Each structure stands twice: as structure tokens, then as C-alpha cells.
Amino acid sequence: MMTRYALLLFLMSLACFALGQQQQMYTQFMYNKMALNPAYAGNETYLSANLLYRDQWSGFPGAPKAQVLTVSLPRLGKRVGLGVNFERQTIGITEKLTYELMYAYKFFLGEGTLSMGMNISGRKYIHDYTDSRLFAIQDITLDPSVPAIVQTKNLINAGFGVYFNTNKFYLGASLPRMIRSDLDFDDNKFFSTEVRHFLLMTGGTFIVNNDFRLTPQMMFRAAENSPWGLDLNLSGTWKDKYSAGMTYRTGGARGDFGESLDFIVAAQVSERIMVGFAYDATLSRIRAIDNGSLEMILSYNLIPRKIKTIMVNPRYF
């Protein structure tokens, strides 16, 4: 029965497939699902929040950085999930602020739950041409193509997602942006657009013994006119408290062994708080000038006392 539902969800996701990347990637995607798929909103009946920081290609001038806050609100009734997502991303002189509202509706299918969700998002792009890091061979103020101003642009977009999970398995697919919004700061031009992104994530857990379980997981990313990417993760968890794992990320240039090899550790430090840390060791040729990527996450679950007393079988997804 579970296999039939999983196959149905996968076929639905293929219908939305888009070829080919703008969307921020996260090594710890397994702990940050709502930022990638609106259908995850309300996955639990109580409030949960994640705070994430990512420093990509550390040591590389102008390298990407991201800060994320996601809040999944307590479920309304048994079927409606709501959430909010805030992101700040910087690369070079460009800053992008994203704010999203998520809505999801739940269908109970045997031992699993199928969620269908949508998001409405706003983005503010900022180009700071007054940044002191800009330089030129001659006086930069003499170049008319570089205005000594701060440019801003606001956009609205929408996305869609589906997510199926049981106690030990999950499969989700999403299109976080469905509208090709104009990214050009000159209103008379239309060369640059936000492209559609397709994300597919799945994973399952296998009980080895009373204290240890193994969890393989995968994240597939594709965007129009860009190469696809794949994260393959295997992690182990001891006593449902301490986790460690490794991810292989495809990518890089021709001849590279891939984009990175990522190491993840996490700890459930209390019933409500989880912390995670990831380090991406670069495999591509950019490793000659960067120090890898760092990522940290803090999760908080406001679990009501009445729920704590009846939790017998742990839910991993």
C-alpha cells in the first residue's frame, strides 16, 4: 500500500519537471525541509522552528552566505498546516531577502500522510555599487557603466509542493518558484528572469537494533538551463539522540570527482532542542582557493506536555 502511494507521488512530481540553478542549496536539507517544500508546513501538530546559517566556499572573496528562519505553526484541526520562511542571501555586492507564507492540506492514507501545499513569496534584490570591495584598474567613478548607487527590485512569486511520509519513509517534490519574474533593474529590458526550480527529496530509516538506525536520503535539484545536482546521504543515529553522516554532492567541472564531500553531525540536546553542524569539503577545482563550506542549524520544537506522554513509537519524518 505504501509503495503504491509513493509511486503515485513520484509520477505527480514528474509532471512538473523542469530542466537544468538560483535556489539556495542546503547540506542539512533533511532538517530544513519547509524552506524547500511548502507541503511540509504543519508536518507536526505543534510549533517548530529552525534557524540556519551557511557560509559557502569560506575564504573566497564575495562567496555566498545565507541565514534562514523557518517557523511551522501548530496544525489547524487535523489537516491544515501553515508556516513562514525568511531568508537572507548574499553573494558579492548582491543581497537577496526572501519572505514566504506556506499553506498545506493533509490527506491521511493508511499509515502515511500526503500533504499538498503552496507558497506565496516576495523577494527584494539589492545591488550595492557603493561597496568598498569594488575596484578597477582606473578610477571606478570614471566608468559610466558602474553607477555609484544602491539599486533595489521587489518581486512576487508562487510555488507548489507535495510531501508524503510515514513513520520511517518520506518522499517530497516541489517547484518553489513557478513564475519567471523579471530580474532586470532597468524596466526597459527583460534579459534576466527567475527560473523554475524542481526539487525532489526522499529518505527512509532502517532499525539495526534498539539503539542504532541507518538513514539513507537523497536530494535532487534541477533548474532551467542549468546542470542538475544530486546529494546522496547516509547517516547513522544512536539512541535517537546523536547522528553522524556523510553526503556526496555531484557537480563541478569536467574531470572533477564531484562538487563536495559533506560531513554532518547532529545532537538532540533536549526534548525540544536539536543542533546540527555540516562541513562541505570541496572536491572541484575551486578547492585551490576556498576552505570548504560551513553550515549550522538550531531546531526548536514546542511539544505540548500531553503529546510527550503518549509518544511511544518515534517518528523520524
174, 37 contact by CB (below 8 A): yes
pLDDT of residue 17: 35
What one-letter code names the amino acid at 104?
Answer: A
50, 41 contact by CB (below 8 A): no
Domains of the chain: 2-120+158-308 (2.40.160.40)
pLDDT of residue 316: 65
pLDDT of residue 315: 58
> Taking the chain (317 residues) in consecutive chunks of 10 residues, what is each chunk's mean pLDDT?
43 37 83 95 93 91 92 93 96 93 95 96 90 74 76 92 96 92 67 84 95 97 87 96 96 84 96 96 86 95 71 57
What is the rounded average pLDDT for all residues in the chain?
86
pLDDT of residue 73: 95
Helix residue spans in the chain (DSSP H): 2-15, 305-308
Residues 6 or more apart whose Cβ sits within 8 Å of residue 87: 24, 35, 66, 67, 68, 69, 96, 97, 98, 99
What one-letter code names the amino acid at 269?
Answer: V
- At 121-140, the pLDDT tens digits run 999 999 888 887 777 777 77
- At 27-62, the pLDDT tens digits run 999 999 999 999 999 998 899 999 999 999 888 788
